[in-house]
Amino acid sequence: MPSQERKIQAPQPNPETKAFWDAAAAGRLMIGKCTACGELHYYPRAICPHCLSDKTELQQASGNGTIYTYSVMRRALVPYAIAYVTLQEGVSMMTNIVDCDLDKIRIGQAVRLVFKPSESGQPVPMFTPV
């Protein structure tokens, strides 16, 4: 089953997350980095979830990853694949797998970053098989 266009609920950025979504609008996926403990995290936060330091910043992700797990929602107007993708940097994020045959998605598959517009026009990061 080919993936089709689905209405994507628009994220509602707040003061803490505006930079993340501005970067997404410019075609960049950012992950959280803490300069106090050196650890990466996702979703990005002002306060580090590893050490509670406020010395956090955004780091651009390579956009390469592998599918950790997924599920194709069949009981929907437009079937779609939800997934967790583990980025090359080591953190995993919830996402969709798009622009592919939904029946051929597999755990462990290599994927790369794409952006799809949400209902507000704000692009959101998704992935497609390499």
Partner 1 sequence: MSIKGKAYIVGIYEHPTRKADDKSLAQLHAESAKGALEDAGLTRADVDGYFCAGDAPGLGPLSMADYLGLKLRHMDSTDSGGSSYIIHVGHAAEAIAAGKCSVALITLAGRPRSEGQATGTAPRAAGGNAPDVQFENPYGPATANMYAMCAMRHMYQYGTTSEQLAWIKVAASHHAQHNPRAMLRNVVTVEDVVNSPIIADPLHRLDCCVISDGGGAIIVAGPEVAKSLKRPKVKIIGAAEAPKHQMAGHVDLTYSGAVWSGPAAFAEAGVKPADIKYASIYDSFTITVLMQIEDLGFCEKGRGGKFVADGNLISGTGKLPFNTDGGGLCNNHPANRGGLTKVVEAVRQLRGEAHPAVLVKNCDLAIAHGTGGSLGTRHGAATVIMERE
> Binding-site residue total for partner 1 (CB under 8 A)?
47
Least Cα distance to 98 among 67, 62, 119, 77 occurs for: 67
49 in Cβ contact with 63 (< 8 Å): no
What is the contact mask toward partner 1 in residues 81 to 100, using x (rule: CB under 8 A)? -xxx-x---xxxxxxx----
Among 3, 33, 56, 80, indicate the residue that binds partner 1 (CB under 8 A): 80
Give the residue with the Cβ less far from Zn ion, 48 or 113.
Answer: 48
CB of 52 to partner 1, least distance (A): 11
Tell which one of 19, 37, 58, 100 touches Zn ion (CB under 5 A). Answer: 37
Check if the beta carbon of residue 69 is closer than 8 Å to that of residue 84. Answer: yes
Distances (CA, A) of 105 to 7, 8, 96: 21, 20, 11
Site for Zn ion, rule CB under 5 A: 34, 36-37, 48, 50-51, 53
